[in-house]
């Protein structure tokens, strides 16, 4: 049952992402990953590839991931299922709000707009929040320490490396408007006090 829910949630989010990313590529420029610094590209491969392969292996042939099984209570696995199911409509909300501004890199497009509506009204990087939550949810559903470990490493890499690089680009493009946005909103979670 947990694997079926994981397939639905992961597949749903990947499908939503693919549709909106393809649409964005048609409607605006695409920034090639090779324009990013090599250490960032290498880090994406070193961290992202094991995470994706671990999840895909679990979804297709869970027995191959049994070496990293974790004894989790069903209640915790159901929490993962609920989080995963919530990721699907949230991914749709995020992608439909960001529209053609979605990018494969931390660099900003020439016609990039500052989006502060929808989920971006509350969180500066809801796409990262949804992605990390999805991988963590699959890790809980799979009861798999390898997936959970790489989801946690991904969270740290996004928060400590990717977001600062991306926000440097956004400050360069939008200046004080983006600085004020940062003051009001949390990077990955809403700020209860909203920058008052």
The pLDDT value given to residue 123: 95
The pLDDT value given to residue 126: 96
Q: What is the pTM of this model?
A: 0.91
The rounded distance, in Å, linking the Cα atoms of 194 and 181 is 10
Give the residue carrying structure tokens 């809801």: 126
Residuewise pLDDT in 10s, the chain (196 residues): 999 999 999 999 999 999 998 888 887 766 666 667 777 778 888 888 999 999 999 999 999 999 999 999 999 999 999 999 999 999 999 999 998 888 876 667 677 888 999 999 999 999 999 999 999 999 999 999 999 999 999 999 999 999 998 899 899 999 999 999 999 999 999 987 755 5
The pLDDT value given to residue 124: 94
> Could you tell me the domains of the chain?
2-184 (1.20.120.1630)
Q: Is 77 left (phi over 0), alpha (psi -120 to 50) or beta?
A: alpha
Q: Is 195 left (phi over 0), alpha (psi -120 to 50) or beta?
A: left
The pLDDT value given to residue 192: 77
Report which secondary-structure segment, H or E, holds 25: helix 2-27
The pLDDT value given to residue 32: 63
Orientation angle between helical segments 145-157 and 126-142, nearest 10 degrees? 170
């Amino acid at each position: 049952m947990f694997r079926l829910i994981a397939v639905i949630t992961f597949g749903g989010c990947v499908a939503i992402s693919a549709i909106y990313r393809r649409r964005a590529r048609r409607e605006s420029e695409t920034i090639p990953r090779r324009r990013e610094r090599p250490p960032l590209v290498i880090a994406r491969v070193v961290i992202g590839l094991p995470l994706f392969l671990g999840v895909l292996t679990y979804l297709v042939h869970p027995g191959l991931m049994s070496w990293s099984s974790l004894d989790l209570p069903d209640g915790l696995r159901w929490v993962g299922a609920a989080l995963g199911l919530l990721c699907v409509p949230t991914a749709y909300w995020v992608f439909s709000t960001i529209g053609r501004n979605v990018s494969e890199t931390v660099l900003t497009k020439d016609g990039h707009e500052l989006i502060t509506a929808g989920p971006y009204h509350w969180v500066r990087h809801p796409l990262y929040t949804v992605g990390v939550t999805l991988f963590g949810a699959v890790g809980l559903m799979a009861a798999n320490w390898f997936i959970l470990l790489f989801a946690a490493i991904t969270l740290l890499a996004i928060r400590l490396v990717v977001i600062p690089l991306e926000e440097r680009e956004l400050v360069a493009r939008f200046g004080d408007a983006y600085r004020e946005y940062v003051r009001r909103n949390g990077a990955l979670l809403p700020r209860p006090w909203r920058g008052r």
